[in-house]
Structure 1
Amino acid sequence: MTRPPAIEAAKRFIHEYFPTCQAALLSGSVVRGEETATSDLDIVVIDEHLQSEYRESLICHGWPIELFVHNLKTLRHYFQSDYQRARPSLQKMVSEGIPLIDHAIIDTIKLDATTILKDGPPEWSPETIRMKRYFLTDALEDFIGSTNRGESIFIANSIGELLHEFVLRTNHHWIGSSKWIVRALKEYDPQFTEEYVNAFEQFYRKDEKKDVVRLVDSVLQTHGGRLFEGFSVGKR
């Protein structure tokens, strides 16, 4: 059986399961024109009849659906939580979302989400930058010294996470996870992203570490270079 188009399936789903909700938005790859064979429907629902938020995964009308259900209070709580962790997942879904029903509240929550995205995450303090610089240095030194291929692979994974976070947060940009690491970096600087991907690809394909080491050092250099001696936490 041929499944209906994404927006038609989403509207049917809302009509059947949330007929009295205040707002519903279809978001995700199908909205951005990035749909793949495994894409699902990301749907945000605002229902003031609910006392607490929940998330649910299900299949309906031939589509896998990721459901994010909130009332206005929990939506704004999650907006704040996502802001503090610098990963604005819910804000992105609301900002880019296509309304599935008409309600005045939609304009308000989309404006809230878009404003947060535009303003960027909270700035790191000098103390936080210093601590993150130390952690990145420590991982890099482990990577350089590692002679075990298996261990080196997972140290490299850690460096990739730490490096993307350091670059983006010190430049007041949102961070990501999984595939969103590369997407977040591209939003900041496509050229740096290419260098980042190529450096790790050289290691994973050819076991060559020098490009990763060079890239990390170039990032750290603008903040004083590697940090080990003199670093402490909690000392009085």
Structure 2
Amino acid sequence: MIADPVDQARRLARTRFPDALAVVLAGSTSTGRATAASDLDIAVLVPEGGASYRETIRFEERVVELFVHTRTGLGELFAADVAARRAVLQSMYAEGLVLVDRDGAAGAARTLAAADLREGPPALAPETVETKRYGLTDALDDLVDASDRVERLAVAGFVLDAAADLLCDHRRAWLGSGKWLPRRLLAADPELGDALLGGHLRLCVTGDPAPFAEAAASVLDLVGGPLREGYRRTWHGVIDSVAARR
């Protein structure tokens, strides 16, 4: 018999974090979409003086991803997630299932998280957008020119990430990675997001890059068009790798 993941999360909270101010279960297990292999994503707010950390454990034969933080740590993590344009922890608090709410701590954190989500991510600097345009333009050239199927698939992965990055920035929408990339992409722009994802799938299945390249080119058109000749970048401060665009 498969244990109920919500009950498991409650037992974990009682046994491992008896003094927690707030415990929130997020992800598929909080929405009833969990499978036997689904892990538990749990945010835990602890009193000041505790540690802020992320830890992976196994509890009752289920993998658990713990996001533990103090109020101070939570504020710092929220700020970092906004700067990264991902809002992972905000989504956990705003959309997750509250298991523990001592003195309104979970409600207060949920209010702050929801405010960040409504505000949206900060816009990329124009210079950054230009560099990302250049990188996507270059990768699209490689995608069309590639004769090796394996290389084309590798380039396609970069193109999908780069196009999603630019499209989400243009729509002032949150980014995602892994399984959250398609979810966030479709939320940002249902029509163009679907064209990118469908084109990428078709390329992977049939090897035909045309629909995918067309969708990625449409993203470029939204943000100023392809950029090749005339691109110039002057390094100052911390110098990153010239391969960062690839």
Does TM-score exceed 0.5, indicating one fold?
yes
d(CA) in 2 for partners of 1:223 and 1:62? 47
Contact 2:2 2:36 in 1 (8 A): no
Contact between 1:3 and 1:62, CA under 8 Å: does it hold in 2?
Answer: no
Q: CA deviation at 1:127?
A: 2.0
Residue 64 of structure 1: how far off its partner (Å): 2.2
* Count of residue pairs the alignment pairs up: 235
Counterpart of 1:206 in structure 2: which amino acid? T
Q: Shift of residue 65 of structure 1? A: 1.4
Match of 1:77 in 2: 76
Deviation at 1:97, TM superposition (A): 2.0
Counterpart position of 2:206: 206
Paired residue secondary structure (2:44)? strand
Residue 36 of structure 1 corresponds to 35
CA distance in 2, matches of 1:133, 1:147: 24
2:15 equivalent to 1:13:
no
Which stretch of the first structure deviates more once superposed, 43-52 or 87-96? Answer: 43-52
Distance 1:59 1:232 in 2: 50
Q: Normalising by structure 2, what TM-score?
A: 0.90
Q: CA RMSD in A?
A: 1.7
> Which whole-Å deviations, capped at 9, do the CAs of 1:147-170 have from their partners, x for residues lacking one?
222211101110010011111111
Q: TM-score, normalised by structure 1?
A: 0.93
- Corresponding residue number in structure 2 for 1:45: 44
Within 1, Cα distance between the matches of 2:156 and 2:132? 16
Percentage identity across aligned positions?
31
* Contact 1:88/1:117, CA 8 A, preserved across alignment: yes
Map of 1:186-201 to 2, 5 A cutoff?
186-201=186-201
Displacement over 3 Å in runs of 4+: none
CA contact (8 A) 2:25 2:42 kept: yes
One-letter code aligned to 2:47: E
1:81-123 deviation line (CA, Å, top 9, x unaligned)? 1100111111111111222223121111110001101110001
Query: Quick one: distance in 2 between partners of 1:97 and 1:198?
Result: 29
Q: Which runs of 5+ in 1 are unaligned?
A: none
| Residue aligning to 1:101 | 100
Aligned position for 1:153: 153
Tell me, in whole angstroms, the C-alpha distance in 2 between the residues paired with 1:152 and 1:30. 36
Give the residue type in structure 2 aligned to 1:202. Answer: R
Does structure 1 retain, via aligned residues, the 8 Å contact 2:37–2:62? no
Match of 1:217 in 2: 217
Q: Which position in structure 2 is the counterpart of 1:226?
A: 226
